[in-house]
Every structure is written in structure tokens, then in C-alpha cells.
């Protein structure tokens, strides 16, 4: 089973969240507990799914719509790329009546386990809607996958420090944010020169929004990033491995003007991407984009479209494309069905999308791959013809059937960048190489779920029918069940997933989680991941010869003050 096992949780998790909101018993219980702080057992972080969809497969109406304006129905959401910093099982509590005057809070999650596992996630924030801020620190580490000896390179660490502040100046609302992220992956003895590969990322952004009369609004932002990758020496410190180090800085200024009426919204936006890579012979990346988008949203029907132009000085991809004109259109609808009080929904979307290749995003989902700056400077754009459809059909107030499909085909030679797990690794670093590749992909997701009272169950089947992205299983199934006591104090959850691809070891990935709320502000959490591998001391292959964590058992405390 490959690293996509974590992504297969998408279908089951989405159904669980949906059913929790629909179950009448759960709603009554939450009302009874409204006067106390209730710490949720887990906050699900979706880190990708079987569709392996690119962000461009769903139109970005953020410039045209408020954050919640596009939520016109219940639709399966196409997942985004995985993040490199793992999210701890954190959740924010609700505030009791006696704390109504407070506007600064602290919450944390700290735990330890085996083999040599530690996690901590702490944040201080102000909930005041006029002057909110947040400061967060997170660290997670594990050493000794499948009971390998500590220090042998079977390890990973992640540290994150971030902050954000929002303030007003007249009618303008400003937001400033920054973060520093450090991740490290042990090379498991596969390199003669390096013990691990480390990645550093620093982000900074400033955003401002100014509303005007008659529904007009102006938004502007600047995002900057610094990235650095290097190997930790295990052999001769004076030697260097080919293509192991990489460093770049990038910036993205953007402006948007939008108008919002009763049911029609429109926006025009423009941005410029610039990236400068360290090293000789690597040309800088420049990319400009102008987009016009609009949507008509009725009570049960929405129609949207966008069109734009992308300029890439110097060209991109196998065809040296320097100009692309992306466009898309879609429709979504809700309608009643005779066998349920809940509405069914359908959504179709298609067109041509084009986006700048995300270097740090690639590094995050493939830690054992060296993405060479030379490759990224020549292949700056990913362009696809695409068509997608999704539907959601309830049965009574208990069952929900969801399905989605997406077709993608590379356009203009602007292929996707992916790891070459089928090619020899670099001799010195031991890491995989990467290459640009055209693709013709058809991905489907089928999910069925049921919830009644305190019990929720779901099952999902994810499939790739044509080209299979690197690191993704052609077919995978998952089943999950959860229980929450009437008071919400006790929770339990179990999941089982299995890859049905060539090369899979057909040992199910079993996860178990249970929690108990001791007081209004303290919850205890016990969690086991990949239980079969943990109990047997066997390894689960990530991409041969590298292995994954292969199971953990941990105990943690979540608190909220």
C-alpha cells in the first residue's frame, strides 16, 4: 500500500461530517450541551484523495464571491494536494456563557507514543471579529519505523510556527500573516552521503479588501515565499550529491475587482508569478494571468463560467507554449426526491484549466523525490482539458450515496510533474528523480454512508481507470464506523482501508481512535494507526525501497482555556 492510503480517508471523512450535521439525535444532544465547552474528538484534515484532482478542476471564485457564497448545495468536494506539515488532532471548543466576555483563548494538543512518537500543537488566538489574531506552534516527530533502531534514518519531523493578524483602517480590512515550516525525512540508509533530507519554507503575505457602494469591492494581496532543501551529512561531508540541494524565492502580487448583486456576481482579477532559483543555468520563472469570472446563483440552481489568458515569457513544456487561454463553465442543482426529506444534488463542470506548477506542493507530497530546479524552470505550467461530474442522493434521513468522476488530458505539451518511481534513483542521494509527463486520466469515487443516533458508518471505493498518477493506487477501498455517546463524552472510531493495486501487500491498514472528555476543557485521546503492521513489527512500503511509519500507538491530551 502506498502513501495514497491517507488520501483514501477523504470519502469516508466527508460522509461522516455530512451525517453528523444531519442526524436528528446528534442535533438534540448538541443542543443540550450548549452551555458547556465541548472539545471535538478530532478535526479531520483532508490531505488529498483518489481523484488526485488539481486545484484548477474547481473554478476559483474567491475573487468574485464571499467565502461562503459558493456553498449552494451538498456536493462531493474535489480534494487538494497534501500538506507536508501534519496536523495534530486539534479542535476548538465552544465557549460557555460564563466566558462570553473573554476574547483571547488558548488551546493545545500534546501526546506521545510508540515507536518514539511525540506531537504537540499549541495556539493562542483572539476570537474578536474586529481584531482577530492567532499565534501557533506545532511540532511532531517519530523515530524508528516498525521498531527499527532509533538513529538509523527511519524517522520524520515537522515543525511549524505561524501567526496572523487582521485589523481595520477605515473601510479597509487588512490581514498580515507569516509562517516558518521545517520538515525532515530520514533516508533509511538508502544514501551513502546523507542521513536525511530537510526542507525549509518561509511564507509572508499581506491582503487588503475595500468595499464600495452598490456591491463593488476591491481586493489586493502580495504573497512571498522562500524555500530551501538540503541533505544532512552521513558520509564524507566534503562531497555533494547531485540535485540534492535546491533553493528559491518567489512572489505573487494580485489584484481583483468584484461586483455582487442579488443573484449575480462577477469579478476581474490579475496576478503575476515570479520565482528565482539558486544555481547557474536555471532561468527565472515569470507568469502573468488575467481572469474574468461570473456566477448566477438561484435558490436551487447555480451557473458559472470563467475565461482568461495566461502569458508565460520564455515558454513552458514540451511545445514551448507561451500563451494559454483557459476557460470553464459549470452548473449545479439541488432538487427534491420522494424518498427523502433531504435534497439530492448534481454538478457538472468542464473546460481548459492552466496553472503554475507548485514547487513546494510537489516537495510536500513526495519527500523522497528531488525536484530539480532545472526541470521546474523549463516546465512552468500544467494545462489540462477536463470534465467532471458529481452527484449526491440521500435515502430517508439515514443513507447517503455520493459519486464523482473526472476526466483529464494534457494540453499543449504542458504536462504534470511527477516522481519517477519506476526509474533508477540518484546514486549519491538515494532519492528518486522527477519528470514532466503527459497524462490521460479518468478517476472515480463512490461513497455510501449511513447514520442513525450515535452510530455512523461509511464505505468508499476510489479508482483510477487510465493513467495512474505516481504514488496513487489504481483501486482502493475503505470502510469506517464511529460512535459518540449521548453526552458526547465518549467517542470511538475504527477504519479499515486496503489497496487493490499491483504490488500491494494486501495487509489492511487498520486505525482505531477513542476519546473521553474528563472536564469541560480537557479531553483524553487514544489512537492507533496501521494496527496490523504495528503489532507484527512489519513495514509498510511507501515506495520501494522506502517504508512508511508502519503504525503508531499514542496517548494525548487536548485542552482549551
pLDDT in the model for residue 254: 98
Whether the predicted pLDDT of 15 surpasses 80:
no
**101: pLDDT confidence band, cut at 50, 70 and 90?**
low
pLDDT in the model for residue 81: 29
Distance CA 426, CA 71 (A): 46
Write the pLDDT tens digit of every residue in 127-151. Answer: 777 789 999 999 999 999 888 888 8
pLDDT in the model for residue 26: 37
Neighbours of 547 (CB within 10 A): 18
**27: pLDDT confidence band, cut at 50, 70 and 90?**
very low
Task: Give domain limits for the chain.
Answer: 3-201+211-231+263-560
**pTM here?**
0.80
CATH 2.40.170.20 corresponds to the domain 3-201+211-231+263-560: yes
**Taking a C-beta distance cutoff of 8 angstroms, is the pair 518, 501 a contact?**
no
Distance CA 434, CA 357 (A): 13
Percent of the chain with pLDDT over 70: 79
Q: Tell me the DSSP string of 176-226.
A: EEEEEEEEEEE-TT--SSEEEEEEEEEEEEEEEEEE-GGGEEEEEEEEEEE
Write the pLDDT tens digit of every residue in 30-86. Answer: 333 333 333 444 333 333 333 333 433 333 434 333 333 333 333 232 233 233 344
**100: pLDDT confidence band, cut at 50, 70 and 90?**
low
Q: Tell me the DSSP string of 363-392.
A: HHH-TTB---HHHHHH--EEEEEEEEEEEE
Write the pLDDT tens digit of every residue in 488-509. Answer: 999 999 999 999 887 788 899 9
Q: Tell me the DSSP string of 250-304.
A: EEEEEEEEEEE-SSEEEEEEEEEEEEEESSTT-PPEEEEEEEEEEEEE-SSEEEE
Hey, what's the cell of 11? 470519502
With cell 515558454, the residue in question is: 315
Mean pLDDT on 342-358: 95
pLDDT in the model for residue 505: 85
Strand 301-316 and strand 246-260: the pairing is unpaired
pLDDT in the model for residue 96: 47
Give the alpha-carbon dihedral of 348, 352, 355, 357, to 10 degrees.
100
Write the pLDDT tens digit of every residue in 195-223. Answer: 899 999 999 999 999 999 999 999 999 99
Q: What ranges make up the beta strands (E) of 438-487?
A: 440-452, 455-464, 475-484
pLDDT in the model for residue 19: 38
pLDDT in the model for residue 347: 98
Q: Which of 328, 246, 259, 263 is nearest to 302 (CA)?
A: 263
pLDDT in the model for residue 234: 56
What is the separation of C-alpha 542 from the centre of its chain, rounded to a whole number of angstroms?
19
pLDDT in the model for residue 550: 93
Q: CB-based contacts of 365: which residues, under 8 Å, 6+ apart?
A: 3, 48, 81, 82, 84, 471
Whether the predicted pLDDT of 300 surpasses 50:
yes
Write the pLDDT tens digit of every residue in 434-457. Answer: 999 999 999 999 999 999 889 999
Report DSSP state, residue 294.
E
Name which residue leads in pLDDT, 471 or 16: 471
Give Cα separations from 116 to 111, 232, 331, 400, 531 (angstroms): 11, 21, 50, 40, 16
Hey, what's the cell of 47? 490531505
Angle in degrees, CA 84, 90, 95, rounded to 5: 145
Most confident by average pLDDT, 21-25, 176-180, 375-379, 394-398: 176-180
pLDDT in the model for residue 2: 52
Amino acid at each position: 500500500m502506498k502513501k495514497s492510503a491517507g488520501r483514501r480517508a477523504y470519502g469516508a471523512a466527508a460522509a461522516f461530517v455530512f451525517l453528523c450535521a444531519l442526524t436528528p439525535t446528534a442535533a438534540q444532544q448538541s443542543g443540550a450541551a450548549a452551555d458547556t465547552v465541548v472539545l471535538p474528538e478530532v478535526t479531520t484534515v483532508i490531505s488529498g484523495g483518489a481523484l488526485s484532482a488539481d486545484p484548477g478542476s474547481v473554478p476559483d471564485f474567491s475573487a468574485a464571491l464571499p467565502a461562503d457564497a459558493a456553498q449552494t448545495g451538498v456536493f462531493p468536494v474535489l480534494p487538494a494536494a497534501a500538506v507536508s506539515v501534519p496536523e495534530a488532532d486539534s479542535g476548538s471548543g465552544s465557549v460557555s456563557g460564563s466566558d462570553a466576555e473573554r476574547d483571547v483563548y488558548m488551546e493545545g494538543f500534546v501526546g506521545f507514543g510508540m515507536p518514539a512518537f511525540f506531537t504537540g500543537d499549541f495556539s493562542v488566538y483572539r476570537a474578536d471579529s474586529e481584531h482577530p489574531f492567532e499565534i501557533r506552534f506545532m511540532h511532531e516527530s517519530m523515530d524508528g519505523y516498525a521498531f527499527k533502531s532509533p538513529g538509523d534514518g527511519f524517522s520524520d519531523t515537522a515543525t511549524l510556527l505561524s501567526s496572523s493578524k487582521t485589523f481595520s483602517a477605515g473601510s479597509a480590512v487588512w490581514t498580515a500573516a507569516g509562517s516558518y515550516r521545517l520538515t525532515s525525512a530520514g533516508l533509511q540508509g538508502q544514501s551513502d552521503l546523507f542521513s536525511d533530507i530537510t526542507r525549509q519554507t518561509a511564507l509572508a503575505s499581506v491582503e487588503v479588501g475595500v468595499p464600495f457602494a452598490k456591491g463593488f469591492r476591491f481586493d489586493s494581496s502580495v504573497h512571498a515565499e522562500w524555500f530551501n532543501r538540503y541533505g544532512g551529512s552521513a558520509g564524507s561531508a566534503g562531497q555533494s550529491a547531485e540535485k540534492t540541494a535546491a533553493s528559491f524565492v518567489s512572489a505573487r502580487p494580485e489584484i481583483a475587482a468584484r461586483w455582487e448583486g442579488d443573484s449575480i456576481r462577477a469579478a476581474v482579477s490579475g496576478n503575476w508569478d515570479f520565482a528565482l532559483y539558486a544555481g547557474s543555468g536555471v532561468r527565472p520563472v515569470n507568469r502573468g494571468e488575467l481572469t474574468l469570472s461570473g456566477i448566477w446563483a438561484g435558490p436551487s440552481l447555480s451557473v458559472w463560467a470563467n475565461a482568461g489568458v495566461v502569458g508565460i515569457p520564455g515558454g513552458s513544456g514540451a511545445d514551448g507554449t507561451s500563451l494559454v487561454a483557459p476557460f470553464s463553465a459549470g452548473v449545479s442543482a439541488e432538487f427534491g426526491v420522494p424518498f427523502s426529506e433531504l435534497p439530492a444534488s448534481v454538478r457538472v463542470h468542464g473546460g481548459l484549466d492552466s496553472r503554475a506548477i507548485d514547487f513546494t506542493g510537489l516537495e510536500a507530497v513526495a519527500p523522497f523525490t528531488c525536484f530539480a530546479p532545472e526541470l521546474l524552470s523549463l516546465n512552468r505550467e500544467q494545462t489540462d482539458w477536463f470534465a467532471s461530474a458529481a452527484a449526491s442522493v440521500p435515502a430517508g434521513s439515514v443513507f447517503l450515496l455520493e459519486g464523482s468522476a473526472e476526466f483529464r488530458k494534457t494540453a499543449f505539451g504542458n504536462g504534470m510533474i511527477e516522481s519517477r518511481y519506476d526509474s533508477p534513483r540518484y546514486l549519491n542521494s538515494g532519492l528518486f528523480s522527477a519528470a514532466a509527463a503527459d497524462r490521460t486520466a479518468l478517476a472515480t469515487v463512490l461513497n455510501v454512508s449511513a447514520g442513525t443516533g450515535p452510530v455512523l458508518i461509511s464505505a468508499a471505493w476510489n479508482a483510477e481507470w487510465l493513467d495512474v498518477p505516481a504514488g496513487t493506487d489504481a483501486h482502493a477501498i475503505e470502510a469506517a464506523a464511529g460512535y459518540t455517546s449521548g453526552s458526547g463524552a465518549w467517542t470511538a472510531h475504527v477504519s479499515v482501508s486496503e489497496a487493490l493495486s499491483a504490488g500491494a501487500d494486501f495487509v489492511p491498514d487498520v486505525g482505531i481512535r477513542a476519546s473521553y472528555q474528563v472536564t469541560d476543557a480537557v479531553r483524553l485521546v487514544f489512537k492507533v494507526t496501521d494496527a496490523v503492521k504495528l503489532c507484527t513489527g512489519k513495514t509498510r512500503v511507501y515506495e520501494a525501497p522506502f517504508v512508511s511509519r508502519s503504525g503508531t500507538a499514542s496517548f494525548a491530551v487536548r485542552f482549551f482555556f
